[in-house]
Amino acid sequence: MTLDELFDAVRPDDESGRTAASRPDWTVLVAPGRPDSAARGPSLRRALLQLGAGGLVVIALVVLVGGLISRRIAQSQSVHEVARITDVLATSVIEPALTDRMTTSTTAAARLDPLVHRRVLTASLVRVKIWTPSGRIIYSDDRRLVGVTFGLDSDARVALTQPQVRAEISDLSAPENRLERGQGTLLEVYRPVWTPSGRPLLFETYFRYDQVADRASELWRGFAAITFSSIAAVVVLLVPLVWALVVRARRAHRQREAMLQRAMDASLDERRRIAATLHDGVVQELAAASFTVAGGAQDAGARGDDELATRLRAAGDAVRTSIGSMRSLLVDIYPPSLRTAGLLPALRDLAATVRMQVELDVDDQVAQELSPEQQEAVFRVTQECLRNAAAHASADLVAVCLGRDDDGAVELRITDDGVGFDPDATRPEGHFGLSLIADIARECGAELAVSSERGRGTAWRLRMSQ
């Protein structure tokens, strides 16, 4: 009989007429995978990768923040520099060459042209304008602007009324800046100048913004050299420290595992000792008492004392029941056949201890191919499922199947005809065994799934790869 056939055999049609083929889908409770990484101890490779990832994040943040800071500093320094240059040009070159007639005559102002081209204009300073307070341009190195009137903005008027040097990024969309379009971003600087008679004019210069980017790159290179060397030094210092910490953690982990293993071995030895003591002591004494009571019942019956014989037979039944309960307890404490005879005999012994009909369909070849840890997991899962079926499901029949599925994985399937439950609902009260089953599956890296519905029984599936 296949797994599915046995599965269907213990899950009959329900009152609504649905067949076993329409059973609920599997709900995966524990995903397959390796055992918990904590069981393998700290990973040096993972620690170094985390350190490297952290370093890359820090470098990325440094690049971003450093770039923004460098650009702000470069812009501030560049604005200050072009303002200083404009101030020097105004006081040492332009203002000494101004005449009162230039305020009204563009022809007179044109005499500034050779001086501006020779001593003012450079590769970075691309435009010069001189304005009257009314907004008329009396001089520009581009003659198309000479004599044209535009409205002065508020900053320019403030610079005239409160003598100061002002600098800002030029608004190339303004009409007076139409001839500067196409030259990229420009820094616009202006300050007042005065004719010999004291008439104010506005001296304006336009500088290329490229020097801001160049200055930012220069600052960034200096900043990056110091920062990256510092980060590299910190990483170099941290690598041996991380290495030492991981080595120590691994050593401590191995010591802890050894202590746990010794504790488990001690617990196993203690369970074996207790089981042997109970088997050789209490169980044998109860068996002897059972034989004695049975013999007394026969003697009483032979003498015609039926009342005494009945009482002795009842006492004998009670003793035999106690022997069965004691043997079930011994299997729970220490299943001797699991270590000696193998998984299949252990499962048979386990099935004999429950008060339900248990159908075993176990592939002995598959069972023998399992590792001792996997055999232990199969036995414990089966044990918990049988307990749950007896204690909570009110089941009459349980099918335990062990074999390989279509993908070659080892599959344990345990199905009962009990009351079932809703796997998506909150865990039923008192079902601590469900957590135990999940923990067993998680420890051996297996997949655990359940298929159940109220009134239609429960099926458990444990899949393990070898």
Task: For residue range 243-284, list pLDDT tens digits in order.
Answer: 888 788 878 878 877 786 677 567 667 766 776 677 667 767
Whether the predicted pLDDT of 83 surpasses 60: yes
Higher per-residue confidence, 93 vs 262: 93
Mean residue pLDDT across the chain: 79
Whether the predicted pLDDT of 19 surpasses 80: no
Instruction: Map out the domains of the chain with their CATH numbers.
Output: 3-33+354-464 (3.30.565.10)
* Confidence band, pLDDT 50/70/90 cuts, at residue 200: very high
| pLDDT value of position 412 | 93
Higher per-residue confidence, 337 vs 29: 29
Angle at 264 between CA 260 and CA 265, to 5 degrees: 115
Q: Tokens 């598959």 label which residue? A: 366
Angle at 178 between CA 175 and CA 179, to 5 degrees: 140
Task: For residue range 214-225, list pLDDT tens digits in order.
Answer: 776 777 677 677
| pLDDT value of position 413 | 94
Whether the predicted pLDDT of 128 surpasses 90: yes
Measured CA to CA in angstroms, residue 123 lies from 48, 96, 108, 211, 444 at distances of 51, 24, 27, 11, 75
Q: Tell me the C-alpha distance between 68 and 74, whole Å.
A: 10
Most confident of 148-157, 299-308, 339-348, 425-434: 148-157
Whether the predicted pLDDT of 466 surpasses 70: no
- The pTM of this model reads 0.45
Q: Tell me the C-alpha distance between 241 and 91, whole Å.
A: 63
Torsion of CA 294, 299, 303, 304, to 10 degrees: 10
| pLDDT value of position 275 | 65
| pLDDT value of position 205 | 93
Task: Give the rounded percent of residues in the chain with a pLDDT score beyond 70.
Answer: 79
Mean per-residue pLDDT, 381-410: 87
Task: For residue range 296-317, list pLDDT tens digits in order.
Answer: 888 888 888 888 888 888 888 8
| pLDDT value of position 460 | 92
Q: What are phi and psi of 11, to 5 degrees?
A: -125, 80
Other beta carbons within 10 angstroms of residue 140's beta carbon come to 24
SS3 at position 434:
helix
Task: For residue range 420-448, list pLDDT tens digits in order.
Answer: 887 776 555 545 557 778 888 888 888 99
Torsion of CA 423, 429, 430, 431, to 10 degrees: 10
* Confidence band, pLDDT 50/70/90 cuts, at residue 398: very high
Exposure string for 157-180, b = 16+ CB within 10 A, e = fewer: eebbeeeebbbeebebeeebbeeb
